[in-house]
Amino acid sequence: MRRKNPLTPLLFPLLSALLAFEAFGERFRVATYNVENYLLEPVGTRTPKPEAHRAKVAEMILSIRPDVIAFQEIGGTNALLEIQGRLAAKGLDLPHMELVHGADEAIQVGILSRFPIVSRNPHTNESFLLDGRRFRVSRGFLEVGIQPSPGYRFTLFTAHLKSKRTTAAADEAQLREQEARLLRGLVEERLKEKPDANIVVCGDFNDTKDSRAIRALVGGNTRTPLTDTRPVERNGDHLPSENPRWDPRHVAWTHFYGKEDTYSRFDYMLLSPGMVREWRREGSFLPVVADWGLASDHRPVVCEFESEER
């Protein structure tokens, strides 16, 4: 009589798990986070970010454990290295980095990544004409290729569009719209080269979804519109919208403006048609952390993906 192997019943769940992993690929998280003047030294009127505030930024990031995170309002390479070191000390190793400088000397955009950065295409001197005057994009546009697995890669753009602060030079909404159109143009170039390209466009866009800037960036009237992921809090809300033209009344705000006591969604993660196929809506969210505002006036936006072409 053949003796039964006592491990046999355990092998089937293990085999099923391995097959599922093979079928769906590794899941990974991408986040975007405006860390509000993360400076180590004063620059102009901007002061260094206090230690307690910087520690809270690390706590926020550790709560979501991203594999790739895009930053806005980083005060140079040393500031990005400092965040990287804080996270590594707590067990979150994001060894690959990129920082892009624009016209703004105080704050920049950057990324940290667990995965290799296989291409870099910084846009540091983009400009546009408005009412006969030429303006530069203040913080530049960061563009990198990231490879989560041998057979899968995606392009990530991050940007920090013109703030809502008024300026004597031009209307802030028009400046923001022109920056958004330039960024959309770069995305269009990539999609023209490869219509099914995997592209993530994320950052602090400083406007609401019905604004001219966001509508231009999404490109709803083009052949390849971007999908607005709109992650929300995991607080139990599940009811659909009563009006099909509106999003559900789930908590999706990402920015608090103290002067007006208002909460708005200014931070986005937009996806190309190719990238949408790998997006896991159920793995995407806004973190809820006590005293989140000590870190920044923004909250991170988190999306999850499968590292295999769909």
- Percentage of residues of the chain with pLDDT beyond 90: 89
Are 228 and 301 spatial neighbours (Cβ–Cβ below 8 Å)?
A: no
Biggest CA–CA distance in the chain, Å, is 92
7 found inside a domain? no
DSSP 215-274: HHHHTTTSSSPPEE----B-SS--PPPSSTTS--S-----EEETTTTEEE--EEEEE-HH
Residue 264 above 60 pLDDT?
yes
Q: What is the CATH number of the domain that holds 108?
A: 3.60.10.10
| Assigned domain for 1 exists | no
Of 198, 100, 186, the residue nearest 149 (C-alpha): 198
185 φ/ψ angles, rounded to the nearest 5 degrees: -60, -40
> Is residue 16 in a domain?
no
State the Cα–Cα distance between residues 264 and 309, nearest whole angstrom.
34
* φ, ψ (nearest 5 deg) of residue 126: -70, 145
pLDDT band at 169 (very low <50, low <70, confident <90, very high): confident
The pLDDT of 199-215, averaged and rounded, is 98
Q: Over the chain, what is the mean pLDDT?
A: 93
CA dist 110 and 117 (Å) reads 12
pLDDT value of residue 265: 98
pLDDT at 262: 97
What's the gap between Cα 6 and its chain centre?
Answer: 48
The rounded distance, in Å, linking the Cα atoms of 194 and 207 is 29
At residue 15, the pLDDT reads 45
Give pLDDT, residue 11.
46
**Does residue 100 surpass a pLDDT of 90?**
yes
Taking residues 10-22, report their average pLDDT.
43
Strand 227-228, strand 267-271: pairing = antiparallel
The count of domains in the chain is: 1
* 180 falls within a domain: yes
Enclosing domain of residue 296: 26-235+242-306
Q: Is residue 141 part of a domain?
A: yes
Quickly tell me which residue has 């789930």 as its tokens.
250
Task: Work out the average pLDDT over 131-146.
Answer: 96
pLDDT value at residue 168 = 87
CA dist., res. 14 & res. 130, Å (int): 61
Compute the C-alpha angle 179/161/159, nearest 5°: 95
> Distance of CA 276 to CAs 69, 103, 227, 272, Å?
18, 32, 7, 6
Query: Is the per-residue pLDDT at 75 higher than 90?
Result: yes
Kindly state the average pLDDT of the residues 69-89. 98
Domain membership of residue 21 (yes or no) is no
- Report the pLDDT value the prediction gives residue 3, as an integer from 0 to 100: 54
Tokens coding 303: 């999306």
- 193 by DSSP, 3-state: which? helix
Is residue 14 scored above 70 in pLDDT? no
CA distance 63 to 145: 25
| Residue 24: per-residue pLDDT | 44
Whether pLDDT at 272 is above 70: yes
Lowest mean pLDDT among 21-30, 99-108, 230-239, 247-256: 21-30
| pLDDT, tens digit, 9 for 90 and up, residues 220-259 | 988 999 999 999 999 999 999 999 999 999 999 999 999 9
Counting Cβ atoms within 10 Å, is residue 16 exposed (0-12), middle (13-18) or buried (19+)? Answer: exposed
| pLDDT tier for residue 18 given thresholds of 50, 70 and 90 | very low
What's the rounded mean pLDDT across residues 84-92?
A: 98
| 160 contact partners, CB below 8 Å, separation of at least 6 | 34, 72, 73, 107, 109, 138, 139, 203, 204, 206
Q: Does the residue 98 lie in any domain? A: yes
What pLDDT shows up at residue 22?
Answer: 41
Residue 20 in this model has a pLDDT that exceeds 50: no
Residue 19 lies in a domain: no
H or E stretch at 80: helix 77-89
